[in-house]
């Protein structure tokens, strides 16, 4: 199940792993939005931290959490088809994954921090997850998403994003999950085709940043 946290700071604390700072125009833009509004509902997708939750709740917002990458690798989401053209093949139980990890009992959100989650999800999950986010994001709501331009190399390890009061994010490597997808700008646009608009931000590293409006 997705873990919900409303005005609380019960997330696990960070280990002693090294944090690397990077400038983020996308985070800078989103932070202005968070400071300009009150009582927003934030869906934080990814490995969060008590510091992140405290930062958001101190601004007067509520935060809910879903760590999709960690959940997606669970073997119990694999199933053997018993009917149809794929009988006998191992497939991914997408419907069950969405039900157990992105069912918010009718809640909608004003902001979703997707980070680079889409790059680490099984390919078969990416479009269904984006479509589900569309369903739970309120009209006018915003998504902050990052996309890697390469599969391997520096800055491609699965990381926790620590938010700050500046335009800097602190990245902390926390797992061995490999990048399984890279998306061109056109492919990113296609992923968010249902949404009203999107804005890309230039970056000096291998991360492409985008803010998407519902």
Domain count, the chain: 1
Domain enclosing residue 128, as ranges: 40-213
Q: Distance between CA 20 and CA 159 in Å, rounded?
A: 10
* Helix/strand/coil for 38: coil
Q: Residue 50: enclosing H or E segment and its boundaries?
A: helix 50-58
Residue 177 lies in a domain: yes
Query: At residue 34, does pLDDT exceed 60?
Result: yes
Residue 16 lies in a domain: no
Q: Output the domain CATH number for residue 156.
A: 3.40.50
- Per-residue pLDDT band at 17 (split at 50, 70, 90): low
67-113 pLDDT, tens digit each:
999 999 888 898 877 777 777 677 889 999 999 999 999 999 999 99
For the segment 169-178, the average pLDDT, to the nearest whole number, is 89
94, 132 contact by CB (below 8 A): no
């Amino acid at each position: 199940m997705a873990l919900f946290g409303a005005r609380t700071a019960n997330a696990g604390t960070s280990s002693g792993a090294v944090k690397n700072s990077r400038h983020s125009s996308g985070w800078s833009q989103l932070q202005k939005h968070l400071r300009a509004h009150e009582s927003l509902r934030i869906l934080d997708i990814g490995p969060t931290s008590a510091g992140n939750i405290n930062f958001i709740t101190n601004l007067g917002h509520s935060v809910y959490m879903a760590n999709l990458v960690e959940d997606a690798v669970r073997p119990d989401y694999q199933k053997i088809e018993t009917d149809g053209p794929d009988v006998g093949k191992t497939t991914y139980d997408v419907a069950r994954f969405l039900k157990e990890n992105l069912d918010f009992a009718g809640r909608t959100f004003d902001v979703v921090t997707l980070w680079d989650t889409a790059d680490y999800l099984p390919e078969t999950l990416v479009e269904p997850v984006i479509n589900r986010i569309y369903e739970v994001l309120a009209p006018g709501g915003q998504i902050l998403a990052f996309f890697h331009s390469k599969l391997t190399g520096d800055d491609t390890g699965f990381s926790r994003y620590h938010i700050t009061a500046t335009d800097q994010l602190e990245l902390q490597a926390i797992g061995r999950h490999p990048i399984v997808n890279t998306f061109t700008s056109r492919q990113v646009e296609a992923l968010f085709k249902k949404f009203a608009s999107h804005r890309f931000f230039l970056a000096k590293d291998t991360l492409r940043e985008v803010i998407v409006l519902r």
